[in-house]
Amino acid sequence: MHIGPYGTEPDTLAKMYAYMKQHHYDQDGLHHEIYLSDPRKAASSSMKTILRAPVRQKN
């Protein structure tokens, strides 16, 4: 879960990729985003986005 403006999503993705590397997973496709907040109604600092990336265990 990413909380904050869209512009800081790369920081959250970097944490996800570091976690994958530490736990011996490889990314297995492109990540995608599920937007939970309406940017017209929510403050950018409280916007919520689910970031998902397919993974596979390293051989």
Residue 21, classed as helix, strand or coil, is: helix
Please, are residues 22 and 46 in contact by the beta-carbon 8 Å criterion? Answer: no
Question: At residue 59, does pLDDT exceed 80?
Answer: no
- Full-model pTM: 0.84
Give me the residue spans of the domains in the chain: 2-57
Nearest Cα to Cα of residue 33 among 45, 46, 22, 47 = 47
CA distance 29 to 34: 16
pLDDT band, residue 46 (cuts 50/70/90): very high
- Dist CA 31 CA 53 (whole Å): 4
Q: How far apart are CA 24 and CA 27, in angstroms?
A: 10
